[in-house]
Amino acid sequence: MTDDPRLILLDPRDNVLVVRSRLRAGDALDLGGGASSVADKDVPLAHKLARRAIAAGEKILKYGAPIGVATADIPAGAHVHVHNLRSDYTPTYTLDSEKGDAA
């Protein structure tokens, strides 16, 4: 669990946290279990952050279930989205317009 009210852990097996309120670049983050980080960019509501370092090729777990695969190494506290995650459910070609988004 995390004591940071801006983040929620949906399942103890998850390697991501969900953002409950918009984060700003430079915000200190409590990732739980004594881990901390600093937001390197703004992160919108309902997006994901890495709870711990995630290796390229590793499954991303949310709600205790795999939702995709990391396409690059993701440091603890980093934004997890279409720029570093290949969804198991949404074809990549539908996300091309989002890849350039800061959202």
| Among the listed residues 9, 7, 44, the one whose alpha carbon sits nearest the alpha carbon of residue 25 | 44
pTM of this structure:
0.84
The pLDDT of residue 93: 54
Segments forming the whole domain that contains residue 57: 7-95
- Domain total for the chain? 1
Residue at 59 is within a domain:
yes
Could you tell me if residue 2 is inside a domain? no
Would you state the pLDDT for residue 86?
93
- pLDDT value for 88: 84
Share of the chain above pLDDT 90, in %: 79
**29-60: per-residue pLDDT in tens?**
999 999 999 998 999 999 999 999 999 999 99
Answer yes or no: is pLDDT of 103 > 70: no
Q: Tell me, yes or no, whether 103 lies in a domain.
A: no
Q: Flag whether 11 is in a domain.
A: yes
Q: What token pair was written down for 91?
A: 């074809």
Q: What is the 3-state secondary structure (H, E, C) of 56-85?
A: CCCEEEECCEEEEEECCCECCCCEECCCCE
Q: Is residue 49 part of a domain?
A: yes
pLDDT digits (tens, 9 = 90+) for 80-96: 999 999 998 766 555 55
Biggest distance spanned by C-alpha atoms of the chain:
38
Q: Please list, in sequence order, all residues whose beta carbon lies within 8 angstroms of the beta carbon of residue 56, skipping any fewer than 6 positions away.
A: 70, 71, 72, 73
CATH of the domain at 16: 2.30.130.110
Residue 79 lies in a domain: yes
pLDDT tens digit sequence for 9-21: 999 999 999 999 9
What whole-number distance in Å separates Cα of residue 59 and Cα of residue 18? 16
